[in-house]
C-alpha cells in the first residue's frame, strides 16, 4: 500500500476469509486502519464510524471497503510505515481482529499549490 505525501489517495481493499472467499463486514462492526509504527501513537488512525477532521474515511460495510486518505492527513515524513487493518466485532463485545498487517510507503512530492 502506498500514497503520495500531501496528496489525496483512495484505495479499494478486498476482504477475504481464509478460503479466499469475499466477506462483508457487518454494519454494526467497525473497520479501523492505522498507519505508523508498532507501540507508538499512529500517524493516521481512521475508522468506518466517523471521518477524521480532514475528511479521511473508510466506507464499510461494503466489499471491497473503500479507504479515502485526505492530503491534510498525509503530511508526516515520507518513509516506510506499518499499516494495520482491524475489525471491531460488536457481536463479541470489544474483540478486535487483525485482518491484515502490511507495508505502507509514503512517497515524497513536490512543493507548491495543488492544481497549478
Closest to another protein by CB, 65 vs 106, is 106
Q: Which residue has the cell 471521518?
A: 51
Closest to another protein by CB, 57 vs 104, is 104
Which spans of this chain sit near another protein (rule: CB under 8 A)? Answer: 6, 36-41, 43, 75-83, 101-105, 108
**Residues 92, 96, 102: CA angle, nearest 5 degrees:** 150
Looking at the DSSP bridge assignments, the partners of residue 88 are 30, 96
**Residues 58, 64, 68: CA angle, nearest 5 degrees:** 30
Q: From the CB of 11, what's the least distance to another protein, in Å?
A: 16
Q: From the CB of 113, what's the least distance to another protein, in Å?
A: 14
Amino acid at each position: 500500500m502506498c500514497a503520495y505525501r500531501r496528496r489525496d489517495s483512495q484505495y479499494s481493499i478486498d476482504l477475504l476469509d481464509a478460503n479466499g472467499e469475499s466477506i462483508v463486514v457487518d454494519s454494526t462492526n467497525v473497520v479501523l486502519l492505522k498507519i505508523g509504527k508498532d507501540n507508538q501513537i499512529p500517524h493516521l488512525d481512521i475508522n468506518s464510524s466517523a471521518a477524521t477532521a480532514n475528511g479521511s474515511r473508510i466506507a464499510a460495510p461494503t466489499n471491497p471497503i473503500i479507504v479515502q486518505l485526505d492530503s491534510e492527513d498525509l503530511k508526516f515524513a515520507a518513509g516506510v510505515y506499518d499499516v494495520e487493518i482491524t475489525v471491531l466485532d460488536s457481536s463479541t463485545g470489544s474483540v478486535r481482529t487483525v485482518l491484515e498487517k502490511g507495508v505502507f510507503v509514503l512517497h515524497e512530492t513536490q512543493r507548491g499549490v495543488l492544481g497549478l
